[in-house]
Structure 1
Amino acid sequence: MARYETSFIVFYDGTCELCQRTKYLLKKWDTHKRLTFQPIQDPSVMNDYPFLKKEQLQKEMHLLESHTYVYTGYAAVKRIMKLLPMTKIVTPILCIPGTNWLGRFLYQRVASNRYQLSGNACRNGGCQINRSSFDRNS
């Protein structure tokens, strides 16, 4: 197995069952063990990565590459898909004109409704989205 120098940290909503299932699948597909996962509810996140914004982390998944570049939302999904052998084969489809717009649109719909899509996913009131922080124009 090849040794990879680039590190990738996925920041995800640890109170969201849909997010947890996605994490499980990504870990399973990450045969080269390139991804590490960090729930945004972990207090160390804001201390260790002060350049990340809590409100943005609550809105969408973030992917930190080599402690220098941050991908958010659909861009993070695309980058992860390019990394994993299982999903890498479908990445040429992402280059078709219009797929970025559609991907961002679908990602935002899923992200903003992730608790409803998870079914009975909210436990202990910990998964309340700060709706006032959403910018509908972005």
Structure 2
Amino acid sequence: MPFTLFVDNQCPLCRRECEHLRRWDKLNRLRFEEITDTSWHPRFPQVDPQYCQKVLHGVDERGRLHTGLEVTLAAWDRVGRGHWVSWLHWPLLRPLSDLGYRHFARHRHRISSWIFKETPCDQGQCQLGDRR
């Protein structure tokens, strides 16, 4: 079973990162589940669908749940690009990396709209819920 990422395809920046991961995943080590699609819920009872809206989730090959920046690092490792993000693991940077990730996750739609000048929220296509 591949490492499964629960992704927000309504976020342009998230979608772009997933496109890169798919392109680099020559050995099919990753699988992607859209967080707004409820069909995955019965297959992954350890994943809280509401919390997926706030923090990136992943389930590894053994069924263990991972969240936050750890999911990104694990995905990049599995596609052979872990060296590009390995510095995020460095002891002095790790707390800052985690803090930066949490900020990004909370504001991913707004950040994406600044970078790509597009967001489905502008057209009323997403429901972000309470972002506090």
TM-score range, shorter-chain basis?
A: 0.7 to 0.9
Q: Are the equivalent residues in 2 in contact too, given 1:12–1:19 (CA < 8 A)?
A: yes
Query: Kindly, what percent of the aligned residue pairs are identical?
Result: 25
Instruction: State how many pairs are aligned.
Output: 127
Matched residue, 1:130? 129
Structure 1, unmatched stretches of 5+, are 1-5
TM-score by length of 1: 0.80
Correspondences of 1:89-108 after superposition (within 5 Å): 89-90=83-84, 92-108=86-102
Structure 1 residues 95 and 131: CA distance shift in structure 2, 3 A: same
Whether 2:105 is the aligned partner of 1:111: answer: yes
Q: Are the equivalent residues in 1 in contact too, given 2:11–2:109 (CA < 8 A)?
A: yes
Structure 2 Cα separation of the partners of residues 97 and 109 of structure 1: 19
Computed over aligned residues only, the root mean square deviation of the Cα atoms, in angstroms, reads 1.9
Structure 2, unmatched stretches of 5+, are none
Structure 1 Cα separation of the partners of residues 124 and 45 of structure 2: 25
Whether 2:55 is the aligned partner of 1:55: answer: no
Structure 2 Cα separation of the partners of residues 98 and 130 of structure 1: 33
**Displacement, 1:16?**
1.4
Q: Are the equivalent residues in 1 in contact too, given 2:26–2:79 (CA < 8 A)?
A: yes
The 4+ residue runs of structure 1 with deviation greater than 3 A are: none
Matched residue, 1:3? none
Q: Secondary structure at the match of 1:9?
A: strand
